[in-house]
Each structure stands twice: as C-alpha cells, then as structure tokens.
Amino acid sequence: MEHDQDEEESQRESHMRTHLFNKQVVTIGGGTGPFAVLSSLKRYQCGITAIVTMSDSGGSSRRLMDEFGQLPFGDLRQALVALSRNGALWRDVFTFRFQPGHGNSKVGERPPEPEGYPGTLRSAEDDLGKLQRVAEAAGVTGHSLGNLIISALQEINGGNLLWAIRDAQRLLGTAGDVLPVTLDHATLCADLEDNTTLCGETDIDTRGEKDVGNLPAIRRVYLQEPAEACEDAIHVIRRADMIVLGPGDLYTSIVPNLLVNGVAEAIRAAEAEVVYVCNLMTKHGETDGFRASDFVREIQNYLDRRLDRVILHDGSFPDDLLAAYAVKQQFPVEADISAVRKLVPEVIVEPVMAVHSESLVRHDARLLVRAIFAPPSMAL
C-alpha cells in the first residue's frame, strides 16, 4: 500500500513538472491567501506573475497613503516575499514590523548590563531596543519595514512604482514578477442588505471582528471611482496559460481585482484555464452561511465568465480549531460538490488544509498547488 502511494505521488509530481514546464501562470488576489500558491509554485520551471489587489486601506499602507499619497504596499510586499529566493534574511527584513517595546526593556530604556562588564552588552535585546528607539524617533513605529523599503525605492525611481517593484524583485531574487492590478487609488465600497454602505477595504474586511452578532449581508461591492488596470497586468493576463484566482477573502481580496476596468475583460479574452481556489472557512460579516457554490456564483457573476476548475477542501478539520473559529462566527465552507459541478466543468476535492501557528487554518502550499494542477482525470 505504501509503495502504491509513493508511486502515485511520483506520478503526480511528474505530471506537474511536465504540465508546468515553460507555462505562464498568473495569480490574482490579495492578503495572505496567494502566499501558499506562490511559495510552492516557485519550485517549478514556469513563468509566474502575481497580480495584486490595490484596495488595502489599513495599517502601514494606510499611513503611507495618508502621509505620502502612495498606493498600498501590503499585498505587494507579501507576494514579493512569497516568491523570494534570496534566503531567510531578506524575507525577514521585508516582513519585519516596528512595534512598541521590542526586546525586554521599556521603550527608551537600555537593558541592564551584566555586573562587572560595563559597556560591553551586545545582546539581541539591546539591538532591538536600539532599533525601536530609532523607529520611534523616525516616526515609523507600526510600519512594515518592507513597505518602507518599497516606498524608498519608489522615491529613488522618481515615483515610478513599477520600477520600484522591479528593484525589490532584484533584492529578493524573486522567482517571478509582481504587478499591481492598478496604479490608480482604488476605494472599495459595499452596499449592504439594510441599504447602508461601507467604504474602505478595512472597514468592510474587519466589521465581523467588531460585532459577533448578526450583520446585514453584502449585496454588492464596487469601486467608489473607476480605476484603470495596469497595462502590464493586462498584457500578462492575455498571454497566460493558467489564471489562478485566490485563495482569499471573496469581497476584499479577489473581487476588487475584477472591478478594475479591463481586468475581467482580459480574463474573458484570454485562452487561459481559469482556476478558483475556494475558501476553507466562511468569514463573519462577509460570507456568512456561504457554501462553495455561493462563492463560485459570486466569482462568476463579477467575472461574467464560467470558471474552468474549482479547488475544494475535503471537509476535514481539527475539532478544537473549529470550536475556536465558531466563537468568531466562522465555519467550514460546505463543499456542496453536486451544486458546484453544475456550475464548473472540473471540481477537485482534496485535503488541502494545514494548521499554522497551532491555531490558524490555512491552505497547505504543496497540497494546494498539487490540486490546482491535478490531471483532468482527478476532477469530479
């Protein structure tokens, strides 16, 4: 039995390497979701382009937008890190975030030195304390260092964000390219079932965290002002062999890309196979009560095109994690396979979940990419 499983694994790996060789793969999304796809996909000999959502309106990105009028960099940074091949150091640099109280000492205080050795302390806590004091003096507490690096590269390049991203790719030795879906400022809005409207990606994204009670459903999302697609993004979409949507929050990470003028049209015009990775869990305030078929219908509604393949998790979850998610009104997405099969030609149902940091449900990078590029014979 074990020999048969090893043989099957070997055959699937061989199929993937053959199937992906010299193919152009485009991922479209935002947030942490595409990280799993990109971090595993970079092991194969294929062309990779990550097209990234640009409607983020919170955290470090919000401050850079307010202070310097720059576009949000958070999702760009995560895609760059996912594709990085220059080792852990550069990845750590780009993911580092300045926080109050780094180290064991209070901000502004030097840690006590060992008795008998004045002036010789060179501990990690001291280094972090110094870094934090510099951060506070510079007004960057709360910022992601990667965001600041991209911001600096943009300034160095005369305000050209695309050139800044290319320089960041050189620093990180990325296995592919990263592109913003638009170079325009894009404000995401949502009309709710109670006839109220929310504007700002963060307000839409986090409303379920602020209120665990019943919330009016999202009726539709749209951009407050029209945004034109980045020309380079349109070009790679049209030349793609496969386009992967997700995983990610439906209305704040995936659909915003389809709202940018020219993107949905380019996907419809492309000859690429379009794959959608369905969420593992529902999100309170965004997709309450959604089954897999509901996600698929919404994607196809905004895309105005049928998807070619959908990836679903097989439904297995650790009971203790389900209880923790239930407290936040988040539940496993029901894989209603027969309903999805009526909407999409190919449906792949496999165990693609992993547990991160002992408490977070995420897609497993290797298993997910294996499912995305599974042989057609495995489709239900």
At 141 the pLDDT is: 56
Is residue 119 scored above 60 in pLDDT? no
Q: Is the pLDDT score of 111 beyond 50?
A: no
In angstroms, the CA 202 to CA 53 distance is 13
CA 51 to chain centre: 10
Q: Is the pLDDT of residue 58 over 50?
A: no
Distance CA 195, CA 192 (A): 5
Q: What pLDDT score was predicted for residue 210?
A: 81
Residue with tokens 């300034």: 155
Dihedral of alpha carbons 376, 312, 217, 362, sign: negative
CA distances from 369 to 84, 288, 293 (A): 17, 27, 21
| Lowest model confidence (mean pLDDT) among 30-34, 98-102, 221-225 | 98-102
What is the pLDDT confidence band of residue 89, given thresholds at 50, 70 and 90? confident
Reading phi first (left if > 0) and then psi (alpha if -120 to 50, else beta), residue 268 is in: alpha
Q: Compute the residue count for the chain.
A: 380
Most confident range (mean pLDDT) of 139-143, 212-216, 334-338 is 334-338
- CB-CB contact of 42 with 48 (8 Å): yes
Predicted confidence at residue 100, as pLDDT, reads 61
Chain-wide mean pLDDT for the chain?
84
The pLDDT, as a whole number, for residue 25 is 97
The sign of the dihedral angle between the CA atoms of 75, 220, 202, 224 is positive
Fold of 2-54+181-378: Rossmann fold (3.40.50)
* Percent of the chain clearing pLDDT 90 (strictly above): 58
Q: Read off the pLDDT band of 239 (50, 70, 90).
A: very high
Report CA Rg, the chain: 22
Q: How confident is the model at residue 125 (pLDDT cuts 50, 70, 90)?
A: very low
Q: Are 292 and 278 in contact (CB under 8 A)?
A: yes
Cis, bond preceding 332 (omega within 30 deg of 0): no
Give this prediction's pTM. Answer: 0.84
Give the model's pLDDT for residue 112: 41
Mean pLDDT of 61-88: 71
161-192 pLDDT tens trace = 999 999 999 999 999 999 999 999 889 999 99
Residue-level pLDDT at 96: 85
Q: What sign does the dihedral 227-233-239-244 (CA atoms) show? A: negative
- Position 10 scores a pLDDT of 77
Please state, in angstroms and rounded to a whole number, the distance separating the CA atoms of residues 93 and 36: 19
- Return the half-sphere exposure (C-beta side, CA atoms, 13 A cut-off) of residue 95: 14
CB neighbours of 281 closer than 8 A, spacing ≥ 6? 325, 330, 331, 332, 333, 361
**d(C-alpha 93, C-alpha 149), whole Å:** 9
- Per-residue pLDDT averaged across 205-214, rounded? 86
Contact 219, 192 (CB under 8 A): yes
pLDDT tens across 19-51, in order? 888 899 999 998 888 888 999 999 999 999 999
**3-class secondary-structure state, position 175:** coil
* Dihedrals phi, psi of 233, to nearest 5 degrees: -65, -45
pLDDT bucket at 315, cuts 50 / 70 / 90: confident
Rounded-to-integer distance, Cα 315 and Cα 333, Å: 8
Alpha carbon distance 343, 166 (integer Å): 39
pLDDT in tens, 266-307: 999 999 999 999 999 999 999 999 999 999 999 999 999 999
- Given a cut of 60, whether residue 70 has pLDDT beyond it is no
